[in-house]
Structure formats: C-alpha cells, structure tokens
Amino acid sequence: MLFPIIDRAGALVALNGRFVEAEANPKTQTAGKKSNGVLATPGALESNLIAVCEAPFDALALWLCGIPSVALVGTNWPEWLPSALAFRSVLIATDADKSGDDAAAKLEATLLARGTRTFRLRPRGAKDWNEALELRGADVLRAHLAAFASAAEDQKREVAALEMARQGRAQAAQFVASLICETLRRERLKIRLLKPVASVSSMATWGALPDVVVIPADIPNDEESIRACIDAQRVPVADVA
C-alpha cells in the first residue's frame, strides 16, 4: 500500500509504502524525503480541528471517525507543520508508548508557543488508534470519539463535555467545550465546567460524595490526579443487607 507524503502546499514530496505480508521485513519503505511532509486526509491541512498521528493507518482510523488527521510517518514533524497549525485546535494522537508520549509532550510545547489549542488524545487499551479500531470496531470507536468529530453538533458536544467533567476528565471537557461554534453556548459551558463537579459513577461501591467537591489549585490538571482528589473526599456509605 502506498501513502502520499505532501508538503504545506500539497505537493508530493515522498511516498511511504507498507508491505501487506504479515512477515514482511522491513514493514515499510519510503521513497523521497518524508521529513519534508505529512500524510494528510482530505481537507485536513485546511481544517480548524486536526489530529496529529504517527502512522498513516492511525490517521485513516481517526478520519473514519470524522476527525481530519495527518500522519508524521514517525515521531518527527516537518519544520513547517507547527506554523501551519497555529491558532487551531489540535488533537495530539501519537502512540500510547514512551516514544509517542515524548513526541506528544514536545509537539504540545511547540504548538502552544504558536497559539494552538491542544489535547493529548491517547488511545487506551491499544498501542495506537489503528489497533483501537481493530479491537473495538468502527461503530464503537466512532461513538467513543464522537465529541471530537469535526461535524459534531454543538448540543452533542455540550452534553459530552459535561459527562467528561463528571468523570473527572477536566482537560477533555474544556477542549470539547472550546470546539462549540455558538459563542454564548460555548462561554456559558466553560463557566459551568470551572465549577466543582461530583462524579456520580460507582457511588454505591465507593461511597457518596459531599455536596461540594473541591479541586484545589495545586492539584495537577490530569485525569488521575483529579480522580484521586475526588475519591479522597468521598464519605462512607452504610452497608445494605
């Protein structure tokens, strides 16, 4: 299978080939200078919302879910890409391993300096988004990522953001809220998301929450830290015979 690598102007600069045989070695081969470009799904480089992946198959998996995507064909990006993504919303969807996490952190710092809004879209239970597609199927993955799809409706994004907040996924909620097109709805939702949110899941198991859950300012803004803070404020629930 051949994947075109294009530059910022859309000109072909390289071809990346993927051998289809299971035992192929090497698995891929590139003709041309791939460091000068990316693989891009249709319209991705012009979209206000875009995902950045490692492999072409990952970009195609996310595109199948309605998310315009580019693939770096590795963990390095062309010099022009950060400028091309300035002031846009970018999902950093590199692999769920050390090299993917390192690349994501480096890319995020580079993009934030250019006014880009970013969110680390890290696959769970899979190494990358192509594997997630294989494991879960298109319908499940599409539903899982529906709030991030470029054509998602404002109302559905609002509902998804509130649910993410209830789950303790503050960063995801804020990013989804920022994608809402209607200004008044977007700004009202952002204010709501700043208020302490109680998680309603597993209350019978973990105990009831107090009326107000407080997230101190010094708690790191990541899902695990926020979840630990919420769980620490739960009160015991009497056993039911």
With respect to residue 52, please indicate whether it lies within any of the assigned structural domains.
Answer: yes
Which CATH number characterizes residue 131's domain?
Answer: 3.40.1360.10
Per-residue pLDDT tens digits for 183-240 = 999 999 998 898 765 444 443 444 444 445 555 556 666 666 666 666 665 554 443 3
pLDDT band at 179 (very low <50, low <70, confident <90, very high): very high
With respect to residue 101, please indicate whether it lies within any of the assigned structural domains.
Answer: yes
With respect to residue 29, please indicate whether it lies within any of the assigned structural domains.
Answer: yes
With respect to residue 193, please indicate whether it lies within any of the assigned structural domains.
Answer: no
With respect to residue 34, please indicate whether it lies within any of the assigned structural domains.
Answer: yes
Task: Provide the residue range defining the domain that includes 47.
Answer: 2-142
With respect to residue 177, please indicate whether it lies within any of the assigned structural domains.
Answer: no
With respect to residue 234, please indicate whether it lies within any of the assigned structural domains.
Answer: no
Residue by residue, DSSP assigns 203-217 as HHHH-BPPS-----T
pTM here?
0.79
With respect to residue 82, please indicate whether it lies within any of the assigned structural domains.
Answer: yes
> Cα 76 vs. chain centroid, distance in angstroms?
18
Instruction: Specify the pLDDT at position 234.
Output: 57
- Domains contained in the chain, number: 1
CA distance 79 to 224: 34
pLDDT at 81 over 50: yes
Q: Are 10 and 45 in contact (CB under 8 A)?
A: yes
**98 class by beta-carbon count within 10 Å (0-12 exposed, 13-18 middle, 19+ buried):** exposed
